[in-house]
Structure 1
Amino acid sequence: MSDSASASRAASSPPARRRELEDDLHWGLVRLARGLGAAEIAAMRPLGLTVRGYVVLSQLVDGPARSQLAIGRAAAMDKSVLVTVLDELEQAGFVTRTPDPDDRRVRIVAATPAGRDVHTRAFAAILQVEEDFLSGLTSGQRRAFRLAVRALGTGPEAATFDTRPVGI
Structure 2
Amino acid sequence: MEVQQPIAACVEKWDFNWLLHRAAQRVGSAFAEEIAKFGISLRGQLVLQALASDEESARTQLKLGAMLGLDKTTLMSELDKLERTGLIMRVPDPKDRRVRTPVITDKGRELQKEAGDALADVERSFRTRFTHQEMAVLRKALGELAEGESPVHGSCI
Match of residue 69 from structure 1: 62
| Counterpart position of 1:156 | 148
Q: Secondary structure at the match of 1:66?
A: coil
Contact 1:134 1:142 in 2 (8 A): yes
Q: Does 1:140 find its partner at 2:140?
A: no
Decide whether the 8 Å contact of 2:86 with 2:108 is kept in 1.
yes
Residues 114-164 of structure 1: per-residue CA shift (max 9 Å, x gap): 1111111121112111111222211211121122222322x116762x339
RMSD: 1.8
Please point out which of 51, 58, 82 is paired with 2:42.
Answer: 51
* Residue 89 of structure 1, CA deviation: 0.6
The residue aligned with 2:80 is: 87
Higher relative contact order (CA 8 A, sep 6+): 2
CA distance in 2 between partners of 1:48 and 1:113 (Å): 16
- Structure 1 gaps of 5+ residues are 1-19
TM-score (norm 1): 0.78
- Matching residue within 3, 21, 39 for 2:13: 21
Pick aligned residue for 2:26 from 29, 32, 35: 35
- Using the size of structure 2 for normalisation, the TM-score is 0.83
Larger radius of gyration: 1
Cα deviation digits, residues 66-96 of structure 1 (max 9, x gap): 2100110010001000001001111111100
Matched residue pairs, number? 142
Say which SS state the counterpart of residue 49 (structure 1) adopts. Answer: coil
Moved over 3 A (4+): none
Cα separation, 2, equivalents of 1:41 and 1:119 = 14
Say if 1:43 and 1:126, in contact at 8 Å, map to a contact too.
Answer: yes
Moved more, 130-139 or 112-121: 130-139
| CA distance in 2 between partners of 1:158 and 1:129 (Å) | 31
